[in-house]
Structure 1
Amino acid sequence: MNQTNTLTATPWNGITKFLFRYFFAFCALSIFPAIGNILFTIVSKLLNLLFESEITYHPSGSGDTLYDYYKLAFTAITALAFAFLWTLIDRKNKEYKLILYWQETYIRYYLGMFMLVYGFSKVIKTQFTYPSLTSLILPLGNKSPMGLAWTFMGFSDTYTIFSGLCEVAAGLLLMYRKTRTLGAIVCFGVMLNVFLMNMSYDIPVKLFSFQLMLLAAFLIGLDYKRLVNFFILNKPVGTQFNRQPFKSKKANLITQIVKGVAIITASGFMIYNGLRSQMMYGDACPKPAMYGIYEAEDFIMNNDTLPPTLTDTNRWKNIVFEKGDGVNIFKMNSSNWGHLLRYRAETDTLKKEISFFSYSDSTEVGRLKYYKTDSIHYTFEGIFKNDTIKLNTRRSDEKDFPLISKGFNWVNEYPDNR
């Protein structure tokens, strides 16, 4: 390898070497999945046998489970033990520039990859989708903090796409050593905002977002002297010499070309998958023929008219046909997602008939005929779970809600904070 990195050629002091050993071990256990996962699996099984405790992994979409905190504690303690052992064994090396070079390289690509993944999911809006019809009629007070954050982000295309572009920019800058520090600074700012959102809205990605922020801080720290001299001490900063992986210029050029092709290919794949996902379940998902909210004005079950009592567990309040094939049924006592009846719907527009299917086993649970009585009123009748039902409804959709219909205005004579 030629040239020097940002690292000084002078020997490191004992504290610097110990901190490097600890951080290297911590990174090896936490961002090299095979190493950390295998070791923790072995240790957790031993602990389960010795103490008759349960440290089990259950995939739930949360990154802040008890298992994850156990794993973090294991990683921190094991890295400390490894650092002490390394210090006792290795007393000859004065510095670890070469190891740090490859560690920094791996962290750049690791961090950059996640920035691109998360960034494109915001730019194409698959992570935060537009508020669904169901979310618009659920009481605000019954939303979870995370659900509120998702609605807030999904409502604004501008803010969500801007957030994604910042993450994509950070990811691309991190891919190249010359723009590493700028990419790390952008990445740290972006991830600080994400981490604070996760903390403020109880979004269960707190540990991972903090880890990414920590890695960005590490990359910034590699250039801390130059940054302090430039931004604070107003001192001249010399050119940074970048270490190249090979001595041959041709080999380094080929490496850059291969890396460029890999970045373009990976980015193209993420964009393709994002657009495909958006068509399947995102904002671009097609609306079904009966898309809308149908509020039951009258509800008849087995020839018995049920009054709109708020505690009634049988009477329907709303039928909501979402984008795609999802349909949610509100009972009178439905106040959150857990109270809804959720099914897959197939509409035959020629027969004017809707079939409802269970998500769990695809069995048909009901079939209703529908007909339009005027521009906004519809009647549904048929068999649902062995009951004969009929309901007269009033249709609405997102355009009937001020949150959606008000839109953006450059000129506002009065604030509309409702």
Structure 2
Amino acid sequence: MNNSNTLSQAPWNGFTKFLFRFFFAYCTFSILPIIGNTLFNITNELISPLLDIEIVRHLSGSGDTLYDYSKLAFILILALIVALIWTLIDRKSKEYKLTLYWQETYIRYYLGAFMLVYGFSKVIKTQFGYPSLSALLSPLGNKSPMGLAWTFMGYSDTYTIFSGLCEVAGGLLLMYRKTRTLGAVVCFGVMLNVFLMNMSYDIPVKLFSFELLLLSAFLIGLDYKRLVNVFILNKPVSAQLNRNPFKPKWANLTTQILKGIAIIAAVSLMIYRGVESQVQYGDIAPKPPMYGIYEVENFIINNDTLPPMLTDTIRWRYVVLDKWDSGNIFKMHTKGYNSRIYFRSKADTINKHISFLSYKDSIEIGKFKYYKTDSIHYAFEGIYKNDTIKLNTLRTDENDYLLMNRGFHWINEYPYNR
């Protein structure tokens, strides 16, 4: 049998040792953020004034900022320097199998933890939600690539949950050494799809998704000879040698029990928080009392009735009162920055008043009295930014749109591609 285990006693060649030193240094600075961030911030403060370049970290929801790219370049250069120095001062070591063991162990848990976090956010469906009312009104051509991807993922519970289950399966398999390789293969396939989606739809998690893809490839690479022998060369292989962290059996058994308890506790906490977020902010969260799309049939501003002309930049076309008390005003003229107004809504269902609040500072920018004229029509009267506004509207919701009411059909005599 071909014994090609990563823990065998065969010495490593010079290139393998250098590659290990470089990757070990990279992982130390990259996936131990407190080290990499601290070193980069210190270097950035020293170099930025000399180069007259200001690189500032800011919270924006993006993982692909100038700061992130600069830190990556810094870490790669630093890892290369460390690997060169390590090579010069350590010429006697024939291999680093014990160090590799602990590196592999940390990477398994690091990668597995993120796979579980991202996976459960899809299984419980908090990462992607159903298309909002405003998204249903937005022309396809006005959507960003990321917005299109979010709508695509959020629409289907089945596809989103399946994607999450694949991530959860990969993460759980990584938690145990005997299923490490299978877990790494599953994670690589899942993360390859995620990375390509981020690249194809300009989703700003490109760097981090590639890092998780790289870590999956690293774990697969530990068994690459055995995988090649089984899947390509059709040769038998020996069982993978597993190194226990401690010599006494009771210590290893205790470690396994504690690890199992920790995994169960972590998974339970993720599920609890996911369900809690779904109830508060997800698809099953309660909708605001005036939730709906209000198509403006008559628009009167300062006693002047404006006809529904598509070139009009003042007249409103839709008032959308969406989930999470968010709101949008769509104007007749659909192009340009000012064609859509964002606000937060606050409804008083007892006195039949609704307020529009600024997103930036929550200052009231409009207040309307509303009343129902029949089962589907609503009238609004009030002040918006010092203008007197009167609206007669037709109320609809997501069930009136083909995307949301078409549903699933086992039998299709003809493709229903609209």
TM-score, with length taken from structure 2: 0.96
Q: Structure 1 unaligned segments of length 5 or more: list them.
A: none
Offset, 1:339 = 4.3
Offset, 1:54 = 1.9
Amino acid at match of 2:393: T
Q: Which residue of 2 aligns with 1:183?
A: 183
Q: Note if contact 1:287-1:324 (Cα within 8 Å) is conserved in structure 2.
A: yes
| Pairing of 1:18-417 with structure 2 (within 5 A) | 18-335=18-335, 339-417=339-417
* More displaced 10-residue stretch of structure 1: 375-384 or 199-208: 375-384
Q: Note if contact 1:345-1:357 (Cα within 8 Å) is conserved in structure 2.
A: yes
Amino acid at match of 1:133: L
In structure 1, C-alpha distance between the alignment counterparts of 2:197 and 2:263, rounded to whole Å: 29
Offset, 1:248 = 1.2
Q: Note if contact 2:332-2:339 (Cα within 8 Å) is conserved in structure 1.
A: no
Offset, 1:384 = 2.1
**Does the residue aligned with 1:39 lie in a helix, a strand or coil?**
helix
Amino acid at match of 1:45: E
What whole-Å deviation, never above 9, does each CA across 1:124-146 have from its counterpart, x for those lacking one? 11111110000000010010001
Offset, 1:278 = 1.6
Q: Note if contact 2:5-2:223 (Cα within 8 Å) is conserved in structure 1.
A: no
Q: Note if contact 1:293-1:396 (Cα within 8 Å) is conserved in structure 2.
A: yes
**Does the residue aligned with 1:324 lie in a helix, a strand or coil?**
helix
Q: Note if contact 2:25-2:79 (Cα within 8 Å) is conserved in structure 1.
A: yes
* More displaced 10-residue stretch of structure 1: 222-231 or 64-73: 64-73
In structure 1, C-alpha distance between the alignment counterparts of 2:183 and 2:337, rounded to whole Å: 40
Amino acid at match of 2:305: T
Q: Note if contact 1:318-1:329 (Cα within 8 Å) is conserved in structure 2.
A: yes
Offset, 1:101 = 0.3
- Among the aligned pairs, what percent are the same residue? 72
Q: Note if contact 2:318-2:330 (Cα within 8 Å) is conserved in structure 1.
A: yes
- Which structure 1 residue ranges, 4+ long, deviate > 6 Å from structure 2? none
In structure 2, C-alpha distance between the alignment counterparts of 1:339 and 1:62, rounded to whole Å: 26
Q: Note if contact 2:368-2:380 (Cα within 8 Å) is conserved in structure 1.
A: yes
**Does the residue aligned with 2:327 lie in a helix, a strand or coil?**
strand
**Does the residue aligned with 2:323 lie in a helix, a strand or coil?**
coil
Amino acid at match of 1:160: T
**Does the residue aligned with 1:225 lie in a helix, a strand or coil?**
helix
In structure 2, C-alpha distance between the alignment counterparts of 1:255 and 1:360, rounded to whole Å: 50
Q: Which residue of 2 aligns with 1:15?
A: 15
Offset, 1:173 = 0.5
**Does the residue aligned with 1:368 lie in a helix, a strand or coil?**
strand
In structure 2, C-alpha distance between the alignment counterparts of 1:313 and 1:276, rounded to whole Å: 42
Q: Note if contact 2:7-2:241 (Cα within 8 Å) is conserved in structure 1.
A: no
TM-score, with length taken from structure 1: 0.96
